[in-house]
Amino acid sequence: MDEIAADWILQDGRILTLDRRRPVAPALAVAGGRVAAVGGRGQMRAWRDRRTRVVDLGGATVVPGLVDAHAHLDREGLKHLCPSLAGCRSIADLQARLRRLAAGRPPGEWLVTMPLGTPPFYRDAPGCLAEGRWPTRADLDAAVGDRPAYVRGIWGYWNKPPVHSVASSAALRAAGVTRETTAPKGVDIVRDAAGEPTGLFVEHNLIQVLEHTLLRAVPRFTHADRMRALADAQRRYAARGVTAVYEGHGVAPQVLRVYRETHAAGRLRLRCMLALSATWQGAAAAERAIPDLAAWAGGAGLGDDRLRVGGLCLHWGGDPEVARILHAAQPDTGWAGFVESANDAASYHAQARLAARHGLRVSTLITRCLPEVLDVWEAIDAETPIRALRWVLVHLNVASARDVARIRRLGAVVTTNPISYLWRSAAEEVARAGGAAETLMPHRSLVRAGVPVALATDNKPPDPWLALAAVVGRRDMTSGEVLGPGERLSRLDGLRALAQGGAWLTFAEREAGALVPGRRADLAVLEADPLAVGLDELGAMPVRLTMVGGEIVHGDA
C-alpha cells in the first residue's frame, strides 16, 4: 500500500478532465506530483492510506491548470510596489493622498506613485477628477512641499497614448528640466504662458521613453524590487488558477536574472517559459547574436519543468528613434521588462530566416501586420520548414479566412489578448477593420481549422477568467454590444485554449493540459462550474485552490 499511496485525493466534486475519453469524474488522486487516478470515490480507496490528505470538494469544480500565454508575470508585482491613486476624485483628494504618503518618508526621498485613474486601463483620467484636468507641479508642491514627487503615467499598452505624467518642482530640478529643455521625440513638455514647465508631460509614443530621457532621475525598479515583485505576482496569478505562463513578448536580461535567481532559490512556484528579447539592433548584429542564442535557446529551449528559456521575440516595424533610446537605456527597461526593437521588412526577414536556419523559435507581435509577417514566414518555410519549431503569432487581432488557412499550413501557434481587443475595445477594433466583426479574433474559425490557440491576459488585468468570458461573450465592455457572434467559442473550447492551447505553446502537451493519469498535477479548484455559470460570474470566477505539481500554490486544503 505504501508504494502506491496518494499524496492527495480530491473527491465529491466535478473534475473537468478535458480528456475526451472521460470528460467528467467525481474524484482524482495525486501522487508524486502527478495525477495518479481519475474516477469514482470507490476507486480512490486503493490510493489512500494514513498519510493521504483527502479534500472534500463539496461539489466544487476542478479544471486543469491554466496557462497565461502572454502574461508579463513580473509586471503585476511591480504595480503593487508604488502607491495607488485609484479612487481620487479631485485634486484635493490627490493632495490628501500625497500628504499621507509623504508623511511616512524621510525628507528629500522621492515619492513615486501609480497613475491617476481606475486600473487596469485608467480610461477615466482626468475625467475622474472634479476639476476635469490633469494636476500640475503647483498642485503636487502644495501637498509635498520641496520633495521630489512623480505621478507616473500609464504604461502605454494598458490603454493607448497619449500618456500623462506629472512631476513636482523638486522633481523637475532633480531631473534638470527647465524652460530651455528640449523634449525627445514623441514627448511634450507642457508649459505655462510664461514658457515655464508646468510639471505635466504628455507622451505620444506607444512605448514610453520619458523615464529613460528627461526623467532619468526618477528612481528605477531595483533588482531587489523585481525579486519581490515576481514573488508577489506569482501569488496573484496563482489566485486566478494560473499554473504556467509564456512570455512571448520576450524578457530582457535584467528580468531573466530575476527568474533564474528565483528558481535557484526554489521560489519559482509557477511553470514559466520565456522567449528572449533581442538586445541588438539590426540584421548585421544578428548575424552573430542569433547563432549564439540558438546554441542554447533553440528548439524547445533550455531548462526544466519550472523554468525554460527558448526562442526569440522578433519585432516587425516599430519606431527607430524610440528603439534607439530604449536600447541605449539597457540594462534598464522600466515597466517593459523587454527590449524594444525596430525592424523594417528586409531586416525582419533576414533575422527570421537566420533564426529558422539555426532552429530558433520566433515570436512576433502581429496586431497590425499579420499578412506581411505571414508573407515572410511562408518564404522562409519554403527554404527551411518551421512547423516543428511552433513559431508564435502573438496578439493576433484581425484575420481573414485566407489568413487562417495560411497559419494552419505553417503550423504556427496563435496567442490572443481577448481582454483588450474584445472586452475593452471590440467596437473600436471592428470599426478599424471596416466593420468586419467576424474577422476580429476569429477564435471559432481558428479552432475549427485546427490552429493551436492559446489565450492571454497581457497583464491587463491578469485574469484568465475575464479572457475566457471575453471569447465566450464577445461583448464590448462600454456598449455591451456583441460583435461577431459567429466567432464565439464554447466554454469548453475556451477552457481548452487556456489549458491545452497553453500546453502546446510551451511544448508541454504530453505533460499538461488534461487531468489524466501520468500527467502533471497542475489544477485549479473552482467555487462554480465554468460551463454553467452566468457570463458575468464566469469573468469573476472564485478560485478556491491552485496546485502545481501536487503542491498548493494558492488556497488551503
**Burial class of residue 527 (count of CB atoms within 10 Å of its CB; 0-12, 13-18, 19+):** middle
- Confidence tier at 334 by pLDDT (50, 70, 90): very high
Angle between helices 137-144 and 91-103 (to 10 degrees): 40
Per the CB < 8 A criterion, the answer to whether 85 and 116 are in contact is yes
User: Which pLDDT value is given to residue 146?
Assistant: 96
Residue 440 is given by DSSP the state B
Asked if residues 244 and 273 have their Cβ atoms less than 8 Å apart, the reply is yes
Q: Please state whether 71 falls in left (phi above 0), alpha (psi between -120 and 50) or beta.
A: alpha
Residue 449 has pLDDT above 60, yes or no: yes
Q: What per-residue confidence (pLDDT) applies to 4? A: 80
CA distance 194 to 191: 8
Residue 136 C-alpha cell reads as 500640475
Query: pTM score, two decimals?
Result: 0.96
Region class of 359: left (phi > 0), else alpha (psi between -120 and 50), else beta:
left
Give me the pLDDT at residue 104, please. Answer: 82
DSSP one-letter code for 503: H
Q: What pLDDT was estimated at residue 1?
A: 36
Rounded to whole angstroms, the Cα distance separating 216 from 306 reads 35
Euclidean distance between CA atoms 108 and 82, whole angstroms: 17
70, 415 Cβ separation under 8 angstroms: yes
Between CA 39 and CA 44, with CA 42 as vertex, the angle to 5 degrees is: 60
Length of the chain: 557
Interval 266-318: pLDDT, tens: 999 999 999 999 999 999 999 999 999 999 999 999 999 999 999 999 999 99
Type of residue at 371:
P
CB atoms within 10 A of CB 266: 8
Q: How is residue 228 written as a grid cell?
A: 519581490
What pLDDT score was predicted for residue 310? 98
Cα–Cα distance measured from residue 393 to residue 373, given in angstroms and rounded to the nearest whole number: 9
> Rounded CA gap, 39 and 11, in Å?
9
Structural domain boundaries in the chain: 82-212, 223-512
Three cell numbers, residue 502: 497553453
DSSP string, 262-292: HHHTT---SEEEEEEE--S-HHHHHHHHHHH
* pLDDT tens digits, one per residue of 118-161: 999 999 999 999 999 999 999 999 999 999 999 999 998 999 99
Q: What is the mean pLDDT of residues 403-419?
A: 98
The pLDDT confidence band at residue 557, using thresholds 50, 70 and 90, is confident
For the chain, report the end-to-end CA distance as a whole number of angstroms: 23
- Topology at the third CATH level for domain 223-512: TIM Barrel (3.20.20)
Cell reading at 256: 531573466
The pLDDT assigned to 2 comes to 45
Supply φ then ψ for residue 542, to 5 degrees: -75, 130
pLDDT range class, residue 78, cuts 50, 70, 90: very high
Is-contact 203 153, C-beta < 8 A? yes
The answer on pLDDT for 363 being more than 50 is yes
Please report the pLDDT score of residue 505 as a whole number.
Answer: 98
The whole-number pLDDT of residue 343 equals: 97
Q: Among 154-158, 178-182, 490-494, where is mean pLDDT lowest?
A: 154-158
Which three cell numbers mark 326? 530604449
Q: Which of 153, 158, 142 is nearest to 112 (CA)?
A: 153
| pLDDT tens digits for range 505-528 | 999 999 999 999 999 999 999 999
Residue 3 pLDDT grade (very low, low, confident, very high; cuts 50, 70, 90): low
**Segment (H or E) for 68:** strand 66-68
pLDDT in tens, 49-58: 999 999 999 9
CA 328, chain centre distance (Å)? 25
pLDDT, mean over the chain: 96
Torsion over CA of 461, 464, 468 and 474, rounded to 10 degrees? 20
Whether 249 shows a pLDDT value over 70: the answer reads yes
Residue with cell 483527502: 54
Which residues are 523's β-sheet partners? 64, 547
Taking the C-alpha atoms of residue 344 and residue 350, their distance in angstroms, rounded to an integer, is 10
User: How far lies 436's CA from each of 81, 103, 478, in Å?
Assistant: 41, 54, 19
* Rounded Cα gap, residues 346 and 481, in angstroms: 41
Instruction: Compute the average pLDDT of residues 223-227.
Output: 98
Provide mean pLDDT across the span 239-268.
98
Average pLDDT value for residue range 10-24:
97
Element (H, E) at 164: strand 163-167
Q: Which amino acid does the sequence have at 174?
A: A
Q: Which residues pair with 200 in a beta bridge?
A: 166
pLDDT score of 429: 94
Grid cell digits, residue 165: 505624467
Nine cell digits for residue 368: 497590425
Cα–Cα distance measured from residue 202 to residue 178, given in angstroms and rounded to the nearest whole number: 16
